[in-house]
Amino acid sequence: MPDPTAVNSMFARIARRYDFANRLLSGGMDVRWRKHLVEAVIKASPDAVIDLATGSGDVAFALSRRLPATAKIIGMDFCRPMLDEAEGKKAAAPEFGNVTFREGDALALPLTDASCDAITIAFGLRNLADRDRGLREMHRVLRPGGTLHILEFSQPHRWFRGLYYFYLRRLLPSIAGWVTGDRPAYDYLNQTIGGFPSRSEISREVQAAGFSQVTARPLTFGIVALHAATKPGGGVS
């Protein structure tokens, strides 16, 4: 599992170039992936949403654009420089008044039990030092009937794997190193994506943490998956 100190340091180093690198390296697909995530979340009209591993805040801002102004959205991350980037973007866009940012570790969330209607985590699950502990924390802070939405890299469809892994292993680290000046950060990305469990394995982990109605939807030839699950016991208020 990833070392949290190393992960924090890595994201701190690339924080200022993070958004640009994401757009470039994904060919802009990251915007479409987040759109699928937001569409899934807003179906239940949640009043309180926690976006974990919020980074520079793109998911939190996308949720704010689609949810009522009365909805409370908290973006949480354990990397202060990434949160500084998110705060800077918010300061330049006053329409995001229902978004707040807080430091917080997904393995020990500074939130009370059953305190939110939905949780999102985009491209952060694979960075957790203990996925089971993190998933159980998410289960704890969700209200009964609340929903969990995980957007994460996955294993591509078999016919696409050769081309994808050539890009991931041969091209991406070099391009990212040129863009960010930090090739080791993207060597780490390569390693964590390539070794990440399959959609079915992640689904089993989510179910083992106490969730029900667990689904996994492949996106873009399977290189990304949108996982969804519900905390049993009621409906979202």
Pairwise CA distance, residues 72 & 66, whole Å = 12
Place of tokens 């759109």: 35
pLDDT confidence of residue 118:
98
Helix (H) / strand (E) element for 225: namely strand 224-230
pLDDT confidence of residue 237:
38
Q: Is residue 191 part of a domain?
A: no
Residues 6 or more apart whose Cβ sits within 8 Å of residue 9:
none
The count of domains in the chain is 1
Phi, psi at 39, each rounded to 5°? -60, -40
Look up the domain containing 145 and give its range. 4-158+197-230
Phi, psi at 109, each rounded to 5°? -65, 130
pLDDT confidence of residue 156:
92
pLDDT confidence of residue 188:
78
Q: Is the pTM of this model over 0.85?
A: yes
One-letter amino acid at 5 equals T
Q: Is residue 174 part of a domain?
A: no
Q: Is residue 166 part of a domain?
A: no
Beta bridge partners of 118: 49, 147
Q: Is residue 179 part of a domain?
A: no
Place of tokens 């939130």: 111
Pairwise CA distance, residues 168 & 17, whole Å = 19
Q: Is residue 44 part of a domain?
A: yes
End-to-end CA distance of the chain: 36
Q: How does pLDDT run along the chain (237 residues), one tens digit per residue?
A: 778 898 899 888 888 888 888 888 888 899 999 999 999 999 989 999 999 999 999 999 999 999 999 999 999 999 999 999 999 999 999 899 999 999 999 999 999 999 999 999 999 999 999 999 999 999 999 999 999 999 999 999 999 989 988 988 888 878 878 878 877 877 777 778 878 899 999 999 999 999 999 999 999 999 999 999 999 987 443
Q: Is residue 117 part of a domain?
A: yes
Q: Is residue 26 part of a domain?
A: yes
Q: Is residue 225 part of a domain?
A: yes
Beta bridge partners of 224: 153, 219
Pairwise CA distance, residues 109 & 52, whole Å = 9
- Identify the CATH number of the domain in which residue 108 sits: 3.40.50.150
With CA atoms as reference, report the closest residue to 230 among 216, 209, 212, 210: 212
Beta-strand relationship, 224-230 and 212-219: antiparallel
Per-residue pLDDT reduced to its tens digit, 34-74: 999 999 999 989 999 999 999 999 999 999 999 999 999 99
pLDDT confidence of residue 47:
97
